[in-house]
């Protein structure tokens, strides 16, 4: 497909599934947490309903649609388990270090995750120093993705107009949020969770500016128009 020539003033990266290959790990732990609460859900449905959403959004969906109210203790147990798994298994997205080294424009991270989870993910994978202090969480705004609040907050803090921002996202909710914010958006499909045709088709129907699955190609995609 033809790639539009985009010369952004700021690149806003999602974290999970874009900088770090965390989504398969997170969904695995979420399914275990739900099973402990009496709700059985397969991975495909969990990805479809929860990918890219904040913890507040996930708990609201569980309460409203499944009548499952996770207790504080259950959430804390799930968080502790997730952090253990991240420490042992989390890896950076292949090619992300090369991409960051070659980007010639400012960049930041804006994620649905809580600040401590974002920093843990970036620390474990050796990326924290590249982003600190430009790390923005859905906990900083009123509404998480697919609302545009988080990306607009990041653009404001980075002092770049929304129309000059490019968001790198892996989730439908994230693509919707970027478009609602009036930003360019590239859908990344190179994470461990993004290989399924259904996921890619869902992203394609949201009409991002481009879809790509090799993160190391990102700087070249910004410098000139090309064919993928």
Catalytic residue IDs: 14
Query: Cβ-count burial of 178 within 10 angstroms (0-12 exposed, 13-18 middle, 19+ buried)?
Result: buried
The predicted model scores a pTM of 0.85
| Predicted pLDDT at 44 | 80
CA dihedral 69, 75, 133, 191 (to 10 degrees): -90
**Is residue 186 within 8 Å of residue 212, measured between CB atoms?**
yes
- Examine the pLDDT at 223 and tell me if it is beyond 90: no
Give mean pLDDT, residues 65-93: 92
| Predicted pLDDT at 140 | 97
- Examine the pLDDT at 4 and tell me if it is beyond 70: no
| Predicted pLDDT at 2 | 47
**Is residue 19 within 8 Å of residue 92, measured between CB atoms?**
yes
Cα 46 to Cα 24, 29, 95, distances in angstroms: 10, 11, 27
Same fold, 10-21+91-223 and 23-89: no
Confidence of residue 5 (pLDDT cuts 50, 70, 90): low
Residues in Cβ contact with 25 at an 8 Å cutoff, skipping those fewer than 6 apart:
82, 85, 86, 89, 90
152 vs 40 pLDDT, higher one: 152
Instruction: Give CATH for domain 10-21+91-223.
Output: 3.40.50.1000
Confidence of residue 227 (pLDDT cuts 50, 70, 90): very low
Q: Which CATH class is domain 23-89?
A: mainly alpha
Give mean pLDDT, residues 196-201: 82
User: Per residue in 45-66, pLDDT tens?
Assistant: 887 888 767 778 888 889 999 9
Strand order in the sheet with 165-169: 135-137, 107-111, 10-13, 165-169, 184-188, 210-212
| Predicted pLDDT at 195 | 66
Q: Where are the domains of the chain?
A: 10-21+91-223, 23-89
Confidence of residue 139 (pLDDT cuts 50, 70, 90): very high
Mean pLDDT score of the chain, rounded to an integer?
Answer: 90
Give mean pLDDT, residues 198-216: 93
Q: In 6-112, which ranges are E strands?
A: 10-13, 107-111
Confidence of residue 225 (pLDDT cuts 50, 70, 90): very low
| Predicted pLDDT at 129 | 96
Closest CA to 167 of 93, 101, 108: 108
Confidence of residue 105 (pLDDT cuts 50, 70, 90): very high
């Amino acid at each position: 497909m033809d790639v539009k020539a985009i010369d952004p003033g700021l690149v806003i990266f999602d974290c999970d599934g874009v900088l770090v290959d965390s989504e398969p790990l997170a969904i695995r732990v979420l399914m275990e947490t739900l099973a402990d609460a009496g709700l059985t859900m397969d991975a495909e449905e969990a990805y479809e309903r929860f990918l890219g959403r904040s913890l507040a959004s996930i708990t609201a969906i569980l309460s409203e649609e499944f009548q499952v109210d996770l207790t504080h203790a259950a959430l804390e147990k799930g968080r502790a388990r997730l952090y253990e798994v991240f420490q042992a298994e989390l890896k950076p997205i292949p090619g992300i270090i090369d991409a960051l080294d070659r980007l010639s424009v400012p960049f930041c991270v804006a994620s649905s995750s809580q600040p401590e989870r974002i920093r843990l993910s970036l620390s474990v994978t050796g990326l924290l120093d590249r982003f600190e202090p430009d790390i923005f969480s859905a906990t900083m705004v009123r509404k998480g993705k697919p609302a545009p609040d988080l990306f607009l907050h990041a653009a404001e803090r980075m002092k770049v107009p929304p129309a000059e921002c490019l968001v790198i996202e892996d989730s439908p909710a994230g693509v919707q949020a970027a478009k609602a914010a009036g930003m360019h958006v590239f859908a990344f499909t190179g994470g461990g969770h993004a290989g399924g045709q259904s996921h890619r088709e869902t992203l394609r129907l949201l009409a991002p500016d481009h879809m790509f699955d090799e993160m190391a190609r990102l700087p070249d995609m910004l410098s000139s128009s090309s064919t993928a």
